[in-house]
Each structure stands twice: as C-alpha cells, then as structure tokens.
Amino acid sequence: MRLARRDLLRLAAAGVCVPLPALVRPARAREAGYPAPTREAMLPVPGGRVYVRVNGDLAGPRPPLVIVHGGPGGTHAGYLDALALADERAVILYDQLDSGRSDHPNDPANWRVARFVDELEAVRRGLNVARWHVCGHSWGGTIALEYAARRAPAMASAILASPLVSTRSWIADADALRRELPGETQAALATCDTPAPATAAACEAGTAEFYRRFNGREPDPPALRAYARANGRGFNARLYETMWGRSEFVATGSLRDYDGEPLLARVDGARTLFMVGQYDEARPVTSLRFAARMPGAELAVIPGAAHGTFTDRPDETVATLRAWMRRHDG
C-alpha cells in the first residue's frame, strides 16, 4: 500500500504521530564505517550464550535502548545506524541464540517465543541494566510485545517497529500487498507454494519484486555489507524456515498460528510506540488498528521506508526514536 501525502495527513489528523514532510531525500550513504563498541560480551541465556555489543555509557542519566533484531534468524547488523543515539544514551545490540556471533547449538527446542523473551531479560540482567527502552523490529517486535505484556518495571517504553503481532494479520497484509504487484507476478506467486508451482526463476523473481517494494527499498551501504561479512555467521536460514517458512508471505513453521493480539490489552499503551515504514509489509493501516486497541499508544510512519526502516531511512528512524525516548525517559 502506498501512502500518499494526503494519507499521511489523514493519519496525523486522527492523532497518529507521523514525521513530515512525506517527501524526503534517499537515505544517506554511511561510508565512514561504524564506531567500535564500547563493550562486548558473550552473556549466558537459556540454551547458550549470546553476543552483545554496547555503545555509550550504561550508567548514564538516560535509560539505554536495546534493539531486538528480526528474523527469526537475523542479526544485529541491520541496526547499526541506531548507534547515533549513543551520544545521549547507551545503545545495546545483540544477536539472538543461533544467530550471528552468538552460540549456535542449533537445537530446535530453543526456538520458542517464550525462550526468546527470557533471553531478552537475561541480557538485561547480564548487563545490570535497571531500566531500558525496548525496540523490537519485525520478529523482534513479537519478542518486545511479549516482554511488554509482562509489565516489567524495567520497561521505560516499548517500540514495536514493523512488528509481527499475529501471523494472520501479517499474512493478510502480505496478501493485500501482493495484489499491488503486476498481474503476471501475482499469478506466478500464487502457484509457488502449490503442488504445481511456476518455474523456480518465476517464483524467485516474484519474491524479489515483493521484497524490493515492501521489504527494503534502498541497497545496504558498503560499510554495512563490510561489517556483516566480518561479524559472525550471518542469517540462519534453518531457524527462519523452521519458525516461519520459506518467504515473508507464507507461514508454514511453528509461528504459523502465532497470535499476540490478546497481549495488546496487557501492554501500557501510554508507553508504546508503533513505528512502521510508509511502504512497509507490516502495513501502517494494520499497526494503526493495533495502536487503537491500546489507549495512549502512538504510531509513527517513516516516510519513504519499507520494512527496513533502519536501513531505508536511517536519519528519520533515528530522529523518531530519539524524540520518543526523550519523552518517556522519566
């Protein structure tokens, strides 16, 4: 779904937080590389150890920000531009178990939502953080939602960034967006998970077109590609396929019946921000409906971004997080 300027203004009139103007410059290239971590650690969590990097002072006056990456099976690398926030608070990035630089026991018994939520809390305890802002992106949004529903006193705020709240809503969004693709692409994709699929090339091309429009609209900068190559094993396809499936718009794994929508009523809406891209596969209209079920919750739409808001529009995403956390530090 494309949100035109009038649509953004309509959302703003409805009480939704929408950064404007809607017409923004392409994301700036990050050629100079990323700052070295202030601290690195392998912290014990249920099932193994996870890699954690910190930039900034954990004992500083503002609660730190932790970012929970997507996937399942992704890594922290796509969130490096958030390190710009370390000028006023610590920023914590980590790889979930079986991802990136963390331990890889590759035991499917660990691949449960509750264990990943416990893992996040183990990171907090391992770093001795009393209070923090939790930003979960995509699958990480599932973890952040579940964590926020526990009403932990350590939670300064929750940022649900392009979140997977329920599989049925995610698939409904994907189906709606697939209908925006060219007819021949739609027809090919409709066969790809049936006993009589289109050619592999047609399925791959259709999937790539969906991702280009709704997952990431900007290429990763050279510095990010270099960092990802040098840091860990990268994306864990087995974990992704076991928990989700073969593509963003077909759920065949253990999350196929996941439903976190009942949790919305248990989260403090006044300290919850939904943040999505203008062209996000987690459609803004869907997150708006979720926010409406949580009194006081807000929605921020990042203009020009698809699902990868941190890489598509890093400046706007960082500015949105900075303003939100300043309002909810107390």
7 pLDDT tier (thresholds 50, 70, 90) = very low
- Give the pLDDT confidence score for residue 152 in this predicted structure: 82
Q: Using one digit for the tens of pLDDT, what is the confidence trace for 86-109?
A: 999 999 999 999 999 999 999 999
Instruction: Tell me which of 247, 280, 287, 312 is the catalytic residue.
Output: 280
Instruction: Indicate the range of 124-133, 179-188, 281-290 predicted with least confidence.
Output: 179-188
**pLDDT-derived band at 50, boundaries 50, 70, 90:** very high
The predicted structure's pLDDT at residue 106: 96
How does the average pLDDT of the chain come out, rounded? 90
Catalytic residue (one of 138, 162, 169, 287)? 138
How much is the pLDDT for 235?
94
The pLDDT-based confidence of 68 (bands split at 50, 70, 90) is very high
Tokens of 147: 């964590």
Q: Is the pLDDT of residue 6 over 80?
A: no
Residue 29, pLDDT > 90, answer: no
- Catalytic residue list contains 162: no
pLDDT-derived band of residue 246, with 50, 70 and 90 as boundaries? confident
pLDDT confidence of residue 28:
40
Q: How far apart are the first and last CA of the chain?
A: 36
Q: Can 76 be counted among the known catalytic residues?
A: no
What pLDDT does residue 1 have? 32
pLDDT tens-digit profile of 130-186? 999 999 999 999 999 999 999 888 999 999 999 999 999 999 999 999 999 999 999
- When pLDDT is cut at 50, 70 and 90, the band that residue 20 belongs to is very low
pLDDT the model gives residue 151: 87
Whether residue 88 contacts residue 62, with contact meaning beta carbons closer than 8 Å, is answered with yes
CA-CA distance, 106 to 179, in Å (whole number)? 37
Burial of residue 330, with CB atoms counted within 10 A of its CB: 0-12 exposed, 13-18 middle, 19 or more buried? exposed
Active site residue 157: no
Structural domain spans, the chain? 5-327
Name the token pair of 121: 């809390």
State how far Cα 240 lies from the chain centre.
14
Which CATH architecture describes the domain 5-327?
Answer: 3-Layer(aba) Sandwich (3.40)
Q: Categorize the per-residue pLDDT at 69 as very low, low, confident or very high, splitting at 50, 70 and 90.
A: very high
Handedness of CA 287, 317, 69, 324 (dihedral sign): negative
Return the pLDDT at 193. 79
User: Would you place residue 26 in the very low, low, confident or very high pLDDT band (cuts 50, 70, 90)?
Assistant: very low
- 3 state DSSP class of 84: helix
> What is the DSSP annotation of 244-281?
T-SBTTB--STTTT-B-GGGGGGS-GGGEEEEEETT-S
> Of 76, 133, 137, 307, which one is the catalytic site residue?
307
